[in-house]
Amino acid sequence: MNITLKQAEKMIAAAKNKATAIDTKMNIAIVDAGANLIAFARMDGAWLGSLDISIKKAKTARFFDMNTGVIGELSQPGGSLYNIEHSNGGLITFPGGVPVIDDNGNVVGAIGVSGSSVENDHAVAEAGASAL
């Protein structure tokens, strides 16, 4: 019911490959079913401020079992979840966080990626999540 370190490392390797393929430098974080960090990697030259963002994206994706960008659509001014980011010690609700689901449909953790455009961040997170 949890991601193992071996699986987390495999996800990070796949995410790094994707990041390199699209010429970006990423921070990549993997959390388990309890939203606690299992593994993290910051690629050389990646934005320093994206360190915390990648971890918060992974936590946010597991907190609500959905892609972070979906929450961001609802947390805009006037939206039903406006300013939800003030909970849980700080959420990040733009794309780049993706839940990881096992063969039985259980959410077993999440991956968060930050370091480029949100489209690139999401693409790298998807590549990592798909590696499992």
- Choose between 26 and 129: whose C-beta lies nearer to its own copies: 26
| Nearest distance in Å: CB 84, its own copies | 7
| Nearest distance in Å: CB 99, its own copies | 11
CA torsion through residues 83, 85, 86, 88, sign: positive
| Nearest distance in Å: CB 131, its own copies | 17
* Beta bridge partner(s), residue 32: 109
What is the spatial distance between Cα 4 and Cα 26, in angstroms, rounded to a whole number? 22
Site residues, its own copies (CB under 8 A): 1-2, 4-6, 8-9, 32-44, 47-53, 56, 59-60, 62-65, 72, 75-78, 80-95, 117-118
What is the spatial distance between Cα 33 and Cα 108, in angstroms, rounded to a whole number? 5
* 96: nearest Cα among 73, 116, 76, 81: 116
